């Protein structure tokens, strides 16, 4: 049985979608489609924030290293985004679910009119039981532009989307299964922190960089996302993206990964 969560945002990182050898993890994509379709069918509204465009672009071009040139990265993002959506469309269709793509830049949320248009679109899709699939528009978003376009990473984007649409919970699927009291890559005695209820504690948490050459996120960005959710009075759960079916356990109220925010006991 799911918890009182009626609207959830699920974010999945590149490291969960791409194997270390650079190939696309089709099993993860299939399990993600199955899981989010099951959640939608239960009556809970779902929004997916996905990374992976450049990673999929690298795989489709049979490249093993991310290019340094911004234009080359943007070209890969354009190639990979269409392929990523093709994979998502196929897998979600297998479970009877319709999805819709939204590519966003920060400007959208900086201006009230465009922000309202996006929020209206998301709301309409959810009413129609369509799952919005959101990604940053990497083909046009760049720090080199004169105006602000980038979110910096999809962790920040997912928290912004979750707070703007008043989602009850943000679930971040990552290559790390939660927040630890020490860096688990360096200390064997590191212990998982199951619950964080005080935003001030996040400043003292250990934070490392991304462990994948295909992604741009890291623990720092995830803690920022958690802080944004807690400030809004919402929850965020950080857990492993190795098997997206964990989302069902999170929504059932089971202890999975690290839960940021006050724990709610109610069920429906």
List, as residue ranges, the binding site for substrate.
Answer: 51, 138, 154
Summarised one tens digit per residue, pLDDT across range 2-33 is 667 899 999 999 999 999 999 999 999 999 99
Mark the binding-site residues for ATP, compressed into ranges. Answer: 11, 174-175, 216-222
Dihedral pair phi/psi, residue 55, rounded to 5°: -60, -45
Q: Which residues contact 240 (CB under 8 A, 6 or more apart)?
A: 173, 174, 175, 176, 177, 178, 246, 257
Tens digits of per-residue pLDDT, 196-254? 998 777 765 544 444 444 334 478 889 999 999 999 999 999 999 999 999 999 999 99
- Going 220 to 175 to 74 to 154, the CA torsion angle's sign is negative
pTM score of the predicted model: 0.89
3-state secondary structure 197-214: CCHHHHHHCCCCCCCCCC
Phi, psi of 239 (to 5 degrees): -150, 175
- The DSSP element (H or E) to which 11 belongs, if any, is strand 7-12
pLDDT tens per residue, range 142-179: 554 444 555 557 899 999 999 999 999 999 999 889 99
CATH 3.30.360.10 fits 7-260, yes or no: no
Binding residues: 11, 51, 138, 154, 174-175, 216-222
Helix (H) or strand (E) holding 12: strand 7-12
């Amino acid at each position: 049985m799911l918890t009182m969560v009626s609207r959830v945002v699920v974010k999945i990182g590149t490291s969960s979608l791409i194997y270390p050898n650079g190939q696309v993890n089709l099993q993860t994509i299939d399990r993600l489609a199955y899981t989010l379709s099951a959640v939608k069918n239960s009556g809970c509204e779902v929004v997916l924030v996905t990374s992976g465009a450049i990673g999929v672009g690298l795989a489709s071009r049979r490249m093993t290293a991310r290019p340094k040139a911004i234009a080359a990265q943007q070209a890969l993002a354009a190639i990979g985004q269409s392929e990523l959506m093709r994979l998502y469309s196929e897998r979600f269709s297998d479970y009877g679910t319709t999805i819709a793509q939204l590519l966003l830049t920060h400007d959208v949320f900086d201006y009230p009119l465009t922000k309202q248009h996006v929020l209206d679109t998301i709301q309409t899709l959810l009413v129609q039981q369509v799952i919005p699939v959101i990604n940053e528009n990497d083909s046009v978003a760049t720090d080199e532009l004169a105006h602000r376009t980038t979110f910096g990473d999809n962790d920040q984007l997912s928290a912004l989307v979750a707070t703007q649409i008043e989602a009850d919970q943000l679930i971040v699927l990552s290559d790390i299964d939660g927040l630890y009291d020490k860096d688990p890559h360096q200390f064997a005695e590191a212990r998982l922190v199951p619950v964080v209820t005080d935003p001030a504690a996040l400043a003292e948490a250990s934070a490392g960089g991304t462990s994948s050459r295909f992604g741009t996120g890291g623990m720092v960005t995830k803690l920022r996302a958690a802080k944004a959710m807690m400030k809004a009075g919402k929850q965020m759960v950080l857990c492993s993206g190795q098997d997206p079916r964990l989302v069902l356990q999170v929504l059932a109220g089971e202890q999975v990964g690290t839960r940021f925010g006050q724990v709610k006991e109610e069920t429906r």
